Amino acid sequence: MKKKSLDKRLIVYLKICFLFTLYFLKGWRVLCIQRRFVLFFWGIVAVSLPVHQLHADPSGANLENPPPNTTIYSDGEEEIKVKPHKKSSELSSALNGGSRHLRSYAPSSSTNSQLFSQDDASVAMKRETRAFGSMPLPIAGGEFAPYLGPGSTYEPPPATWLPRSFPAWMDQDTVTGDWGGWRSWLKNRGISIGGRWLMEWNGNVGGGRKHSGKFADEEAISVDLDMQKLLGVHLGTIHYLMTMRQGSTGLMSAIPSLDSVQEIAGGGTTTPGYDFTRLTRLSWEMLWNKYVRTEIGEMNAESDFEQSSSYWGANLYCQFVNNGICGMPQSIAMNSGYTWYPGSSPGGYIKIYPTGDDKWLVSAGIYAEKSNFGATDNYWNLGLGNATGAFVPVQLGWHKGGSSDYEGPLQANIKIGAYWDSRWVKDVYSQLPTFAGNAFPSSALILADPKQLRSPYGAWIQADGMIERDGKDPRRGLSIFGSFTWGDPRDSVAPYFVTLGLVRKGTFRNRPNDTISIGSKMLWVNDQLTQWVKDLPQSVCDTHQYGYGGGCYAPHMENLLEINYGWRPAPWLLIRPNIQFEFSPGATNRYATATIVGLESGITF
């Protein structure tokens, strides 16, 4: 097919998609906030694509009509031509140890390596993501990177709309495949589209305040625009992420628990029956050279400070369901103006790599703190309206390891960070309502007298590493992690917070991508709150107002243990049964240990 006819067909197709999208969203109130992005996104695509021309392959062959007996693969950054029957070990070596996803080219007017060469900076950016950057689209546990070493049977998806067979469908990276080649076509021109659906049901079946079960789910769509590939100019990447949540946080009060046993129940989840859509990311990321990387826009701190490392291409912390572990150690959000997924506010960071690679990192950021950050009316509230201060984190990171977790030296990471919060806040006694009704009668809150204070602060340390990789099958291994977070005792409800965990990838025979995960969180309540409850008059503790009775229970510590099995029947499908034990629910001895069972499932589109 000739270049011009292909380009004309594509432009007509995109214009139709653009008009259809506007019409489709017109009557949907819950999604109408996306119309501005639809106009922006399709406008860029329609304007930029006609400027692309067919470029000659360095070998002299046109990529639209590759040489006979040649297969073309791409990881979105470079092209690799492999003759038939090339050994998988050779292919693995060509792709830096299998740390990238292979995508087959659809017939297209493809760009070549002369225009989009992979320099040292882009390599550093990709590898840095393992230790110091989180996933653009935080899929629960992530999609494991394919193994391309000796014995690999991985094949890139065909450029078809429907899979050739059911087994072929179950081998795809995503449930929707390559969209007849259009997905790869767009990605190779700088437009990467992702999506996921995640659901969680958990129920308290023993102990705690009462037995109850709750459901929550989340849908997300992401679009990344690589300006180098899209416009042929080194202008970084524009990230867009939109999320929608349904469900309730009611299980927290039923147990009770100081943080959610469901990672997606909260931060935008509303009452049952209501959908909540919000902008999660709209930012511009720029890798200036192999030493400096920046990002600015509507974003959150969770992606880049006290964040999880990536193992086997997946988020290590989010091999767990409990929100105290998955995402980030939860106390930093409880104690400060730390901005978290799925929320967003104006912010930015700068990351410096002193050695020009991924061994060392020095980073600093600033994020606006909004009084309505977690409110349901903040879904498209761009700018500094309702800003109350700034959250300023800094972080030092160290990393070692090979190019992937399937070969080379075992990965290890250490991150040390601190934060400063510019806001005026109320002291720790303003946190007493967290315990009212469980530790003491709500009527006792009248005795609290919180004061104003300025600029709380805190710090953290994280460590993780792979301690074993099976010699006979490098897809299997064991990784561990631990973290300690400290918060300013003047205002922190939980000044000490610890997480620990281990993840075994590769369980039974023929299950190399299944996981068994065991993790724990330990939360220490501020001693000032403990003493305040101890000092309450006995007459206050014995009241039966609002159904309360049985004396006062001084809050002290809340611990949790989670055990789960991550079953991955397909790369795009996760089914994770789990059980959690909440010791001292609500950080008191009032209730027996709560036993929470649950099921998490995710689909990658």
Q: Sorting pLDDT into bands at 50, 70 and 90, what band is 45?
A: very low
pLDDT of residue 267: 57
Are the C-beta atoms of 10 and 17 separated by less than 8 Å?
Answer: no
Q: Sorting pLDDT into bands at 50, 70 and 90, what band is 146?
A: confident
What is the overall mean pLDDT for the chain?
77
Q: What is the CATH number of the domain that holds 223?
A: 2.40.160.180
Question: 35 with 139, same domain?
Answer: no
Q: Sorting pLDDT into bands at 50, 70 and 90, what band is 252?
A: confident
Q: Sorting pLDDT into bands at 50, 70 and 90, what band is 24?
A: very low
pLDDT top residue among 267 and 268: 267
Phi, psi of 139 (to 5 degrees): -75, 140
pLDDT of residue 64: 38
pLDDT of residue 559: 96
Say if 118 falls within a structural domain: no
pLDDT of residue 481: 98
Say if 169 falls within a structural domain: no
pLDDT of residue 404: 86
- CA dist., res. 106 & res. 91, Å (int): 20
**Is residue 220 scored above 70 in pLDDT?**
yes
**Is residue 226 scored above 90 in pLDDT?**
yes
Say if 180 falls within a structural domain: no
Average pLDDT over residues 15-40: 44
Question: 378 with 477, same domain?
Answer: yes
pLDDT in tens, 559-586: 999 999 999 999 999 999 999 999 999 9
Say if 81 falls within a structural domain: no
**DSSP states of 12-64:** HHHHHHHHHHHHHHHT-GGGGGGHHHHHHHHHHHHHHGGG------TTS--TT
Of 71-75, 213-217, 598-602, minimum mean pLDDT range: 71-75
pLDDT top residue among 127 and 257: 257
pLDDT top residue among 64 and 278: 278
Q: Sorting pLDDT into bands at 50, 70 and 90, what band is 128?
A: low
Average pLDDT over residues 442-458: 89
Counted domains in the chain: 2
Within 13 Å of residue 249, how many CA atoms lie on the same side as its CB?
A: 14
Count of residues making up the chain: 605
pLDDT of residue 272: 46
Question: 290 with 381, same domain?
Answer: yes
Question: 21 with 138, same domain?
Answer: no
Question: 537 with 443, same domain?
Answer: yes
- CA dist., res. 56 & res. 341, Å (int): 43
pLDDT of residue 44: 42
pLDDT in tens, 308-323: 999 998 899 999 999 9
- CA dist., res. 305 & res. 363, Å (int): 9
**Is residue 204 scored above 60 in pLDDT?**
yes
Q: Is 364 buried (19+), middle (13-18) or exposed (0-12) by CB count in 10 A?
A: middle
pLDDT of residue 384: 78
Q: Six-digit token pair at 182?
A: 């259009």
Q: Is 221 buried (19+), middle (13-18) or exposed (0-12) by CB count in 10 A?
A: middle
Of 41-50, 144-153, 175-184, 254-263, minimum mean pLDDT range: 41-50
pTM given for the model? 0.78
Its domain, for residue 19, covers 1-51
In 3D space, the residue among 399, 423, 390, 394 whose CA is nearest the CA of residue 305 turns out to be 394
- CA dist., res. 338 & res. 378, Å (int): 16
pLDDT of residue 147: 72
- CA dist., res. 47 & res. 231, Å (int): 10
Query: Residue 500, Cα to own-chain centre: how many angstroms?
Result: 19
Say if 183 falls within a structural domain: no
Say if 573 falls within a structural domain: yes
Say if 306 falls within a structural domain: yes
Average pLDDT over residues 526-543: 89
> Where is 204: in which H helix or E strand?
strand 191-206
Question: 405 with 548, same domain?
Answer: yes
Question: 449 with 581, same domain?
Answer: yes
Of 22-31, 235-244, 326-335, minimum mean pLDDT range: 22-31
**Selection from 21-30, 334-343, 588-597 with the highest mean pLDDT:** 588-597
pLDDT of residue 266: 62
Q: Six-digit token pair at 476?
A: 């299997």
Say if 366 falls within a structural domain: yes
Q: Please state at what angle helix 3-26 crosses helix 35-48, rounded to 10 degrees.
A: 170
